[in-house]
Amino acid sequence: MSLSDLVLSIADNKQMLGLRYAEWATRAPSLEADIAAAAMGLDDLGHSRVLYGCLEPLGEDPRGPGRESDAGSLRSLQYFDAPWTEWAQFVAANAILDSAFTVMIEACVSGSVEVLQHRLRKMLMEERYHFLHGRSWLKEMGDSPAVEQAWREALEWFGPDGGELGRRLAAKLERPEPKLKIDWSKWDPIRRRTLPGAIDLRTFDMLRGLEEQRYGITGAEAPARG
């Protein structure tokens, strides 16, 4: 596990978080929440691009050719594998997972690697609004299965030695850290999750530009659907 592996994990997760946010840009409970979902989606997609751009200056790019053919080689969490069906899932991701990524980015910004110190700082300013949005909605929604799931995946993402990060997340959310039993023997240190699985095919096709071809945007012939 190198620093590049960690940065790629944040990038892949923010890319998926941004896409899942964007899917709610016309489905949130109010027009204001629609607009916020769209804005936060754009923010996180932008953050992922900055993070991918940090891999080269870090001197190591762990992205292999498998990323073009195997959705399971992307490093996003199980929480993003399928589109969310409930607003509660949006809120739990917004409040807990987005904040978990922020806690890690804060650690990078206050760390000793210059490229991360400089390039990630602006993200924290934008993330402040994601946090306020998530915290406020979480107050309204209260506990839900999605909240527990998000906490579980945040703690898995922090890893077996991530106790301090978990405490920082709990402090940020002003909520006690739930006591969850995590089977670390199943933990994948590259994908930072305990369960296998991958994002849905449609989203994977979209990431690879294949959905665009289906709509004729590139002029190329649409690929056969598997």
Partner 1 sequence: MTQYKRVSGDAVEYEVFARKTRGEPLHQVGSVVAPDDDLAVAYARATYDEERWVEMAIVRKEHVIELWRPGEP
Residues that bind partner 1 (CB under 8 A): 29-30, 32-33, 35-36, 38-40, 87, 129-130, 132-133, 135-137, 139-140
Closer CB to partner 1, 114 or 174, in the complex: 174
CA distance 24 to 26: 5
Closer CB to partner 1, 31 or 224, in the complex: 31
Tell me which residue of 57, 76, 60, 72 sits closest to 11, measured CA to CA: 76
Tell me which residue of 166, 92, 84, 169 sits closest to 134, measured CA to CA: 92
Closer CB to partner 1, 41 or 162, in the complex: 41
Nearest distance from C-beta of residue 131 to partner 1, angstroms:
9
Closer CB to partner 1, 95 or 108, in the complex: 95
Tell me which residue of 78, 130, 81 sits closest to 103, measured CA to CA: 130
Nearest distance from C-beta of residue 55 to partner 1, angstroms:
29
Nearest distance from C-beta of residue 84 to partner 1, angstroms:
14
Closer CB to partner 1, 35 or 222, in the complex: 35
CA distance 44 to 189: 23
CA distance 111 to 160: 20
Nearest distance from C-beta of residue 41 to partner 1, angstroms:
10
In SS3 terms, 64-104 reads as: CHHHHCCHHHCCCCHHHCCCCCCHHHHHHHHHHHHHHHHHH
94 neighbors 133 (Cβ within 8 angstroms): yes
Nearest distance from C-beta of residue 146 to partner 1, angstroms:
13
Tell me which residue of 69, 78, 84, 76 sits closest to 24, measured CA to CA: 84
Closer CB to partner 1, 129 or 184, in the complex: 129
At 148, which amino acid appears?
E
Nearest distance from C-beta of residue 92 to partner 1, angstroms:
14
Give the tokens for residue 39: 């804005």
